Amino acid sequence: MINPTEVNSLIRLLDDPDAEIFGHVHQKLLSYGAEAIEYLESAWEQAFDPIQQERIANLVHEIQFGTVKNDLQLWYQGGAFDLLQGILIVNRYQYPDLDEQKVINQIEAIKRDIWLQMNNEGSPVEQIKLMNHVFYSIHGFSGNTSNHRDPQNSYINQVLESKKGNQISLAIIYSIIAQKLDIPVYGVNLPQHFILAYMDESRESDFEGGILFYINAFNKGFIFGRRDVDMFLKQLNLKFDRQFYEPCSNTDIIKRVIRNLISAYEHAGASEKVDELQELLNILDPLTP
């Protein structure tokens, strides 16, 4: 437990003009971690000095960003099994105070609506057509074609609220719901486009032979085959590579989300965010310089 009197005394020293004192106070408050945030936010509301306000705001962000880095590291080292947990950690970068249970409840509500209409006897294509009907027609999800570069397309809470997202955010929500319903749909890291594969789990040993068809979550769950992927790669002048056809790892999915965010913030000229997101990417890609 931290001592409130001590924390508040340190916060009052944040506007000290002496760089050495400020540096010491800054490090000490940083060492308290998330526990110090409520005291810092309360002091920010009462502060009249813009320098002190700015220093408090920066410190809160630094503590929260440290938590995101730590959470992402633990998720990655723990095997990155839970895709929803991974995308919520990325979400915390921009929305640290978000009630994440709300996101989980929204996903559960869509899942329940699909489950209520589901007939277990249905073929894979029928299952997906039913999913598409509930996800796109009833819940109203669609690809954000008018503002594709908006970073909000990559934050799951915003996509669930606006019902608009980019290829990967819609595919993430779609596949999380499908897997919760025991429908074997997984992400495929296709260049310039993120798609989903419906797996024949009885032929799990060979991914290539085990894919029944592909799904385009950005285009209302459009179903297509391997030949369409061949044609797409041909248009991009890319040679055959198994990874363009087969499910990728949750780590690869989250790396792609972070790369999308880096690109969006580069376009917006937000260089500090670009640098921080690069730090997050390096956690998942330790070999990248």
Note whether 57 and 92 are same-domain residues: no
Domain presence at residue 107: yes
Which stretches of the chain are DSSP H helices?
4-12, 19-32, 37-46, 50-77, 83-94, 100-117, 124-132, 156-162, 167-180, 226-235, 250-268, 271-284
Strand partners, 215: 196, 223
Note whether 157 and 116 are same-domain residues: yes
The answer for residues whose C-beta is within 8 angstroms of residue 109's C-beta and 6 or more apart is none
Note whether 104 and 190 are same-domain residues: yes
Q: In this predicted structure, what is the pLDDT of residue 288?
A: 56
Domain presence at residue 108: yes
Q: What are phi and psi of 241, to 5 degrees?
A: -150, 125
Q: Count structural domains, the chain.
A: 2
Note whether 132 and 237 are same-domain residues: yes
Domain presence at residue 277: no
Query: Residue range 88-117: average pLDDT?
Result: 96
Query: Residue range 35-56: average pLDDT?
Result: 80
Domain presence at residue 131: yes
Mean pLDDT, the chain, integer: 89
Q: Burial code of 33-69, b = ≥16 C-beta within 10 A, e = fewer?
A: eeebbebbeebbeebeeeebbebbeebbeebbbebbb
Note whether 60 and 124 are same-domain residues: no
According to DSSP, the β-strands at 164-165 and 185-188 are: unpaired
First to last CA, the chain: 38
Note whether 95 and 181 are same-domain residues: yes
Note whether 183 and 232 are same-domain residues: yes
Domain presence at residue 257: no
Note whether 153 and 141 are within 8 A (CB).
no
Note whether 136 and 212 are same-domain residues: yes
Looking at 58, 77, 96, which one is the last position of a domain?
77
Query: Residue range 230-245: average pLDDT?
Result: 84
Note whether 29 and 7 are within 8 A (CB).
yes
Note whether 262 and 281 are within 8 A (CB).
yes
Give the model confidence (pLDDT) of 256-275 as tens digits.
999 999 999 999 999 999 99
Q: How far does Cα 207 stand from its chain's mean position?
A: 25
Note whether 104 and 70 are same-domain residues: no
Residue 117 to residue 239: CA distance in whole angstroms = 42
Is the pLDDT confidence value at 103 over 80? yes
Note whether 73 and 115 are same-domain residues: no
Note whether 70 and 89 are same-domain residues: no
Q: In this predicted structure, what is the pLDDT of residue 205?
A: 42
CATH number at residue 96: 3.10.620
Q: What is the pTM of this model?
A: 0.89
Percent of the chain scoring above 90 in pLDDT:
61
Domain presence at residue 265: no
Give the model confidence (pLDDT) of 248-260 as tens digits.
999 999 999 999 9
Domain extent at residue 14: 4-77
Q: In this predicted structure, what is the pLDDT of residue 206?
A: 46
According to DSSP, the β-strands at 142-143 and 164-165 are: parallel
Q: In this predicted structure, what is the pLDDT of residue 279?
A: 96
Domain presence at residue 276: no
Domain presence at residue 144: yes
Note whether 98 and 240 are same-domain residues: yes
